[in-house]
Amino acid sequence: MMRKLRPAPLCRSWLFLEGANEDVLQHAAASGADVLIHELEDFTPPPLRPKARALAAELYAAWRDQGVMVAVRVNPLDQDGMDDLAAVMRGRPDIVALPKVAEPHHVVRLDEAVTRFERDYGIAEGSTSLLPNIEFARGLVQTGAIAMASRRVIGCLMASEDLAADLGAERGSDGLELAYARQRFIVECRAADVVAVDCPYTWSDAEGVERDTIWARGLGYTAKSLVDPAHASIVNGVLTPSEEEMRQAGRIVAAFEAARTKGLGRVELDGSLLEVPTYSNAKRLIARGEALRAIDRDVRA
C-alpha cells in the first residue's frame, strides 16, 4: 500500500544520492531523510548517466512506497538535462531540481520541458514541482525572481561548493564564508513564499552538522540539504521542535492569551516581555511541531 507523503513545507532533510550507485539508492530510505534526490549531475559521471536514467522508474516507485518525497536533479538543459528528463519523467518524480540556475528564464525553460513530458507521459499537468538550485552569485541576487518564475517552484536550494568557488571564498567547516549568502537566501525565499533549503554540510563529523543546522535554524531555516545519509537523523532532530520547546511555546501562548483577556497588549514571562510577534512565533512552532509529529506517525504506519 502506498504510504502518505510528507508535504514539501514539512520536509526537513533533502538527501543527494549518487545516481548510478544501486546499493546506495536501494538503501537510501533507511536514512530517514524526508526527500531523496536522485542526483544525475555532479554525483553521476557522464558515462554512468544512461544507467542512472534507466533506474528511475522502478527506483522512484520503491522510494514513494517507503513514504519519502521523490526528487531528481537533472543536468543543465543545455547539457544532458533534456535526455535526463526524457527518461526520469517516466518515473513521475514529485520534484525536479535544476542545478546552476542563475536567471529566471532557466526556470521557465524547465517548466516548459516538464509540462511537455507530463503531457507525453500522461502525468497530471502541473503535478511535478520544481526546485531551482542557486549556485552562483548571479543566481543568489535573483533568488526571488527565480522562485517566482513558475508556479511549480515549491522551494529553492542553495549549493555550497559551487557558490563558494564562484565567490572565490575559502571553504571552512565553520561556514563563515557563506554566512551572508545563507542569510540573504532565506530572506529572498521567504519573500517569495517558497521553502528555503539550506546548503549541505560537506564534512563528515556529526558534531559539525548539528552545529551548522542549529545555526541555520536560528536564521529561520526549516529544511537542509545533505550529502551524507548519516546526517539525516541529526538534521531531522534539530529541525523538529523538541518537547521542551513545545512546552515553552505553550506557556507563551497561554500567558499572552490570558493577558489579552484582561485587555493587556503584552505580558512578562520569565523576565521577557511577550508581544504579538513572540506569541505568533510560539503558535507557529506549536503548529509545526504537531504537524511534523502527525506526518511522522502517518509515514511510519
According to the annotation, is 162 in a ligand binding site?
yes
Give yes or no for a contact between 196 and 155, defined as CB atoms under 8 angstroms apart: yes
The segments of the chain whose pLDDT lies below 50 read: 1-2
What's the pLDDT at 301?
A: 56
Residue 177 lies in a domain: yes
For residues 223 and 160, state if they share a domain.
yes
Please answer whether residues 140 and 184 qualify as being in contact, where contact means their C-beta atoms are separated by less than 8 angstroms: yes
112 is in an annotated binding site: no
Antiparallel, parallel or unpaired: β 95-98 and 129-134:
parallel
Residue 233 is assigned to a structural domain of this protein: yes
Domain count for the chain: 2
Domain co-membership, 230 together with 251: no
- Same domain for 155 and 276, yes or no, is no
Domain boundary among 218, 239, 260: 239
pLDDT at 274: 86
At residue 20, the pLDDT reads 97
| C-alpha torsion sign, points 55, 60, 61, 65 | positive
Q: Domain span at residue 261?
A: 243-300
- Those residues whose C-beta lies under 8 Å from the C-beta of residue 215, and which sit 6 or more positions away, are 175
> For residue 147, is it within any domain?
yes
Read off the CATH number of the domain in which 103 is found. 3.20.20.60
pLDDT for 189? 98
* 164 and 294 inside one domain: no
Residues 71 and 177 in one domain: yes
pLDDT of residue 269: 85
Residues 95 and 137 both lie in one domain: yes
Residue 155 CB burial class (10 angstroms; 0-12, 13-18, ≥19): buried
Q: Which of 201, 220, 239 is the endpoint of a domain? A: 239
Q: Give first-to-last CA distance, the chain, whole Å.
A: 11
Pairing of strands 272-274, 267-269: antiparallel
CA–CA distance, 159 with 121 (Å, rounded to integer): 31
Q: Quickly list DSSP for 108-158.
A: HHHHHHHHHHHHHHTPPTT-SEEEEEE-SHHHHTTHHHHHTS-TTB-EEEE
151 is in an annotated binding site: no
Residues 248 and 153 in one domain: no
